Amino acid sequence: MSDNNNTPAPEQTGKGKDGKKIVLSGIRATGNLHLGNYYGALNKFVRMQDDYDCRYFVADLHALTTHPDPKMLHENVKDILAEYLAAGLDPEKNTIYVQSDVPEISEMYLLMNMHVGIGELMRTASFKDKARKALGISAPESDSDDDGIEKQIIGNQTNQRVNAGLLTYPTLMAVDILIHHADFVPVGKDQEQHLELTRRFARRFNSFYKTPYFGEPVNFNFGDHSIKVPGLDGSGKMGKSEGNCIYLIDDEKTLRKKVMRAVTDEGPKEPNQEVSEPIRNLFTLMELVSTPDTLEHFKNAYADCSIRYGDLKKQLAEDILKVTLPIRERILDIRSNEEYLSRVVRQGAERAREVAAETLRDVRQIMGIRKI
Ligand code: TRP
């Protein structure tokens, strides 16, 4: 399924297997994967697997920051793993593992935290968001409106705590990346700030210990603009917490129903009028799953006011199903084979631990944690 048409030729100068550059990414185990995850991340993972030394993991420790039910968390790890494999990640080509199976990550997280400031962590957008949610505070109207969330956290005396794991989420993510000496980290735009912090921590470590030990990992895109997959509710992106998702695991009936219920508008009133946001979103989805001719047809129909949204949605559902149904079949198949899943992660953990142990050994040595 690898499609390298517009892939820049990877420079074969990396420290990975066969001189390849190292790629690392992960997804938090907090629910089934949706089309946003698929086009934003998973599809990129698959396209990179031939040209890079790729390591992909399920972030179960990161999921703990929002206190999942223990049974659900465990099931979720297996779901995401099955979804990785069903989307086309090959466990022979890639190192596929579960974060908590590599205990070296947790130890290095402790060490790295010694060089991370609580101020910079508190200023991270994702932290502020999650802290507000934990305390039941609504977000300020605009980015420049300071709601003094930092003071509210410190002054908070209720049982609605903002846990320290949430604060140090970026340290753990930096360690996920740095422990592999990754060159590229394919992630969505929402993770850019975490990647920026990762680079900052790497530089800080190097300069504190006067050793050029860590490189500076960057995001990765295939020449095309970074994709933002819209939801079905008329505005914003597709997201688990927005309840506007199409899941890879959705069955035919559920999926059709969701698409047919997607928010639209009253229809174009005059020729060539500007396309409203809900309709633009449906066109964006169509751009991902349908042929250029199909998209063109509906855009023209919008322009000359002959469009019927029912037809548009029917076609969209049809074309989404062409992408997701084969994946769904494979998910169900792979998910029911626990023995296979366990074999995949055992092998992945073994490979990941080999690399991680070496980095951890170096980091301990550099920091002065040495055997007597
Ligand atoms: N923070 C990422 C997310 O929420 C998941 C993640 C954890 C990750 N560790 C990572 C992504 C390391 C890339 C690299 O989607």
Reported as a single tens digit per residue, the pLDDT across 340-349 is 999 999 999 9
SS3 category, 247? strand
Q: How confident is the model at residue 13 (pLDDT cuts 50, 70, 90)?
A: low
**Is residue 240 one of the residues assigned to a domain?**
no
For residues 204 and 115, the answer to whether their CB atoms sit within 8 Å is yes
Distance 27 CA to ligand 1 centre (A): 5
- Co-location of 185 and 81 in the same domain: yes
Q: What phi and psi values does residue 251 have, to the nearest 5 degrees? A: -80, 170
- Co-location of 210 and 308 in the same domain: no
- Co-location of 36 and 172 in the same domain: yes
Closest residue by Cα to atom 5, ligand 1, is 27
CATH number at residue 308: 1.10.240.10
Distance 370 CA to ligand 1 centre (A): 31
Residues involved in catalysis: 130, 237, 240
The helix-helix angle for 169-178 and 103-113 (nearest 10°) equals: 120
- Co-location of 193 and 311 in the same domain: no
For residues 315 and 293, the answer to whether their CB atoms sit within 8 Å is no
- Co-location of 64 and 206 in the same domain: yes
Q: How confident is the model at residue 1 (pLDDT cuts 50, 70, 90)?
A: very low
Distance 249 CA to ligand 1 centre (A): 22
CA 117, distance to chain mean position in Å, is 25
**Is residue 237 one of the residues assigned to a domain?**
no
Closest residue by Cα to atom 7, ligand 1, is 173
Tell me the C-alpha distance between 193 and 126, whole Å. Answer: 9
For residues 66 and 31, the answer to whether their CB atoms sit within 8 Å is no
SS3 category, 188? coil
**Is residue 243 one of the residues assigned to a domain?**
no
Can you tell me the mean pLDDT for 261-289? Answer: 95
Q: How many domains are contained in the chain?
A: 2
Tell me the C-alpha to C-alpha distance, in Å, between residue 1 and each of 46, 48, 87, 213, 326.
8, 11, 9, 36, 13
CATH number at residue 122: 3.40.50.620
**Is residue 89 one of the residues assigned to a domain?**
yes
Which of 106, 173, 190, 197 maximizes ligand 1 atoms within 8 Å of its Cβ, making it the mutation to test the pocket? 173
**Is residue 372 one of the residues assigned to a domain?**
no
Tell me the C-alpha distance between 197 and 172, whole Å. Answer: 11
- Co-location of 222 and 270 in the same domain: no
Q: For the purposes of burial, counting CB atoms within 10 Å of the CB of 7, is it exposed (0-12), middle (13-18) or buried (19 or more)?
A: middle
- Co-location of 75 and 154 in the same domain: yes
Alpha-carbon Rg for the chain, nearest whole angstrom, is 22
Q: Interior CA angle at 181 toward 94 and 7, to 5°?
A: 55
Is pLDDT above 50 for 4?
no
Q: How confident is the model at residue 328 (pLDDT cuts 50, 70, 90)?
A: very high
Q: What phi and psi values does residue 88 have, to the nearest 5 degrees? A: 120, 5
326 lies in which domain range? 252-333
- Co-location of 120 and 202 in the same domain: yes
Q: For the purposes of burial, counting CB atoms within 10 Å of the CB of 73, is it exposed (0-12), middle (13-18) or buried (19 or more)?
A: middle
Tell me the C-alpha distance between 61 and 29, whole Å. Answer: 9
Q: What phi and psi values does residue 165 have, to the nearest 5 degrees? A: -65, -35
- Co-location of 324 and 342 in the same domain: no
- Co-location of 211 and 306 in the same domain: no
Distance 368 CA to ligand 1 centre (A): 29
Which residues approach ligand 1 with their CB closer than 6 A? 24-28, 59, 62, 173, 176-177, 185, 187, 191, 194
Tell me the C-alpha to C-alpha distance, in Å, between residue 126 and each of 143, 154, 231.
13, 18, 20
Closest residue by Cα to atom 4, ligand 1, is 28
**Is residue 348 one of the residues assigned to a domain?**
yes
Q: Which H/E stretch holds residue 151? A: helix 149-155
Tell me the C-alpha distance between 249 and 326, whole Å. Answer: 10
Q: Which atom of ligand 1 is nearest to the CA of 41?
A: 15
Tell me the C-alpha distance between 306 and 78, whole Å. Answer: 46
DSSP assigned state of 216:
-
Q: Average pLDDT of the chain?
A: 93
| Predicted local distance difference test score (pLDDT) of residue 349 | 98
pTM, rounded to two decimals: 0.92
Which of 22, 27, 54 maximizes ligand 1 atoms within 8 Å of its Cβ, making it the mutation to test the pocket? 27
**Is residue 311 one of the residues assigned to a domain?**
yes
Q: In terms of pLDDT, which residue wins out, 136 or 193?
A: 193
Distance 218 CA to ligand 1 centre (A): 13
Q: Residues 6 or more apart from 117 whose CB is under 8 A from it?
A: none
Q: Counting runs of H as helices and runs of E as strands, what totals does the chain give? A: 16, 3
**Is residue 239 one of the residues assigned to a domain?**
no
For residues 219 and 184, the answer to whether their CB atoms sit within 8 Å is yes
Which of 44, 109, 130, 194 maximizes ligand 1 atoms within 8 Å of its Cβ, making it the mutation to test the pocket? 194
Q: How confident is the model at residue 172 (pLDDT cuts 50, 70, 90)?
A: very high
Q: Which atom of ligand 1 is nearest to the CA of 182?
A: 14
- Co-location of 345 and 321 in the same domain: no
- Co-location of 318 and 345 in the same domain: no
Is pLDDT above 80 for 360?
yes
Tell me the C-alpha distance between 24 and 201, whole Å. Answer: 17
For residues 335 and 78, the answer to whether their CB atoms sit within 8 Å is yes
